[in-house]
């Protein structure tokens, strides 16, 4: 499949089109349970994301990056195995949920609590990475370590189109290629890096083709098509596990919302462009696909929405309880098992200042 969809030829992988028609030849063999899980995760992601915006607007949560429009990403999480490692940037709530991340961690992170970064034991998700591109090196590093140790573990690192301009990304790509690291660089090309459009981010025709220079395959996929993302990631993960080395996946998608809650996208892009992508909504087409298979109906949707709303409310209640008990000093506790002398000094300085404020 990867050879067939050569990004240099301008072909990209699509299995489910915007009308919900499926390419029977390429359709992945997923059970009804698996298909439902994927759909339900996309719906939960959208609802949790929408709720987060309401929390931010009412002062209950800090600045955050919406995932709206990019929910097909959940397929990446479902194509991985439990023992694999995921290295997110900051717009991957869907993949994290597909990889069993407790939802309250997402809310906690954006309530400013370090606790949100602590993944439960056995759930191999790294904390969100805001320094653009840095997580690609962590992912490739873990994959190289897995190779040395002989562990059958694959690392997936996510980044944005803007992230591909960072030196970190190119270093990660080079190491991945040279050492045949069992990893996937998953690039969500959502057309914008804040207000910088894709066409001035790189002179390359596609992002996927960058892999060719580093000696491994790259594939461009319809990023609003969960079936295509699943098929491409599954194949890449299997190749990595078999010792065939890395893959770069370019997911062609669109950020429907602002860059973060601190951004106003109407200043730099047109309504026409947003509308074009809204017509390519990932959830809408998956719903039609399930409906045609006799899996989706109104009652199923209503029950699902109720279940998700309940799960979201419970996650917020948990997060707000932890957040209320969080102290500014906590930020020093998570970097190292033991604080370095510099951190200790800063910690004591903060404590003194907090005490002075209280007096």
Ligand X SMILES: Cc1ncc(C[n+]2csc(CCOP(=O)(O)OP(=O)(O)O)c2C)c(N)n1
Any idea which residues carry the catalytic annotation?
Answer: 255, 259, 268
Cα distances from 183 to residues 152, 270, 298, in angstroms, run 11, 36, 40
With CB under 6 A as the contact rule, the residue among 10, 32, 120, 131 that binds ligand X is 131
Do β-strands 196-197 and 192-193 pair in parallel, antiparallel, or remain unpaired?
antiparallel
Q: Which of residues 145-184 bind ligand X (CB under 6 A)?
A: 159-163
Q: 251 in helix, strand or coil?
A: strand
Query: Cβ of residue 135: shortest distance to ligand X, in angstroms?
Result: 11
CB 42 within 8 A of CB 308: no
> Which range touches ligand X (CB under 6 A), out of 50-58, 127-135, 269-277, 333-341?
127-135
With CB under 6 A as the contact rule, the residue among 5, 175, 192, 289 that binds ligand X is 192
Cα–Cα nearest to 189, from 212, 218, 217? 218
> Which range touches ligand X (CB under 6 A), out of 138-146, 187-195, 216-224, 322-330?
187-195
Residue closer to ligand X, measured from CB, 176 or 193: 193
Question: Could you tell which of Mg ion, ligand X, none binds residue 85, using a CB distance below 5 to 8 A set by kind?
Answer: none
Q: 16 in helix, strand or coil?
A: strand
Q: How many CB atoms lie within 10 A of CB 181?
A: 25
Query: Cβ of residue 302: shortest distance to Mg ion, in angstroms?
Result: 34
- Tell me whether residue 265 is exposed, middle or buried, using C-beta atoms within 10 angstroms of its C-beta: 0 to 12, 13 to 18, 19 or more: middle
Q: Is 194 in the site for ligand X (CB under 6 A)?
A: yes
Question: Could you tell which of ligand X, Mg ion, none binds residue 138, using a CB distance below 5 to 8 A set by kind?
Answer: none
Q: Is 259 in the site for ligand X (CB under 6 A)?
A: yes
CB 185 within 8 A of CB 139: yes
Residue closer to Mg ion, measured from CB, 14 or 189: 189
Nearest-angstrom CA–CA distance, 328 and 322: 13
Nearest-angstrom CA–CA distance, 69 and 76: 15
Residue closer to Mg ion, measured from CB, 139 or 223: 223
With CB under 5 A as the contact rule, the residue among 158, 193, 207, 219 that binds Mg ion is 193
Q: Which of residues 131-170 bind Mg ion (CB under 5 A)?
A: 160-161
Nearest-angstrom CA–CA distance, 97 and 74: 8
Tell me how far the alpha carbon of residue 160 is from its chain's centroid. Answer: 9
Query: Cβ of residue 137: shortest distance to Mg ion, in angstroms?
Result: 19
Residue closer to ligand X, measured from CB, 91 or 234: 91
Q: Which residue is nearest to ligand X (CB)?
A: 160
Binding site for ligand X (CB under 6 A): 91, 130-132, 159-163, 188, 190, 192-194, 255, 259
């Amino acid at each position: 499949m990867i050879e067939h969809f050569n990004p240099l030829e301008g072909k990209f992988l699509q299995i489910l089109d915007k009308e919900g028609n499926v390419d029977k030849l390429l359709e992945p063999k997923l059970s009804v349970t698996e298909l439902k899980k994927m759909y339900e995760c996309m719906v939960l992601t959208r609802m949790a994301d929408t709720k987060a915006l309401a929390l931010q607007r009412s002062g209950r949560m800090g600045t955050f990056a919406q995932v709206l429009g990019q929910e097909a990403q959940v397929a990446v999480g479902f194509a991985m195995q439990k023992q694999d490692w995921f290295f997110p940037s900051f717009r991957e709530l869907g993949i994290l949920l597909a990889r069993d991340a407790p939802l309250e961690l997402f809310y906690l992170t954006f309530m400013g609590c370090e606790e949100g970064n602590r993944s439960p034991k056995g759930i191999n998700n790294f904390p969100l990475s805001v320094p653009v591109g840095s997580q690609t090196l962590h992912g490739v590093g873990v994959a190289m370590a897995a190779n040395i140790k002989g562990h059958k573990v694959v690392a997936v690192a996510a980044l944005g189109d803007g992230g591909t301009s960072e030196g970190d990304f190119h270093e990660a790509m080079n190491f991945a290629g040279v050492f045949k690291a069992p990893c996937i660089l998953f690039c969500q090309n959502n057309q914008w890096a804040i207000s910088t459009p894709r066409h001035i981010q790189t002179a390359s025709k596609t992002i996927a083709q960058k892999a060719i220079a580093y000696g491994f395959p790259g594939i461009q996929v319809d990023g609003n098509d969960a079936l295509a993302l699943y098929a491409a990631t599954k194949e890449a993960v299997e190749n990595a596990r078999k010792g065939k080395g890395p893959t770069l996946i370019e997911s062609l998608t669109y950020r429907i919302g602002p860059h973060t809650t601190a951004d106003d996208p109407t200043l730099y892009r047109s309504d026409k462009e947003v509308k074009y992508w809204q017509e390519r909504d990932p959830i809408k087409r998956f719903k039609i696909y399930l409906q045609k298979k006799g899996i989706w109906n109104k009652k199923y949707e209503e029950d699902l929405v109720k279940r998700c709303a309940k799960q979201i409310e419970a996650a917020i209640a948990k997060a707000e309880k932890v957040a209320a008990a969080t102290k500014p000093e906590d930020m020093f506790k998570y970097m190292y098992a033991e604080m370095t002398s510099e951190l200790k000094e800063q910690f004591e300085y903060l404590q003194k200042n907090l005490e002075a404020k209280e007096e």
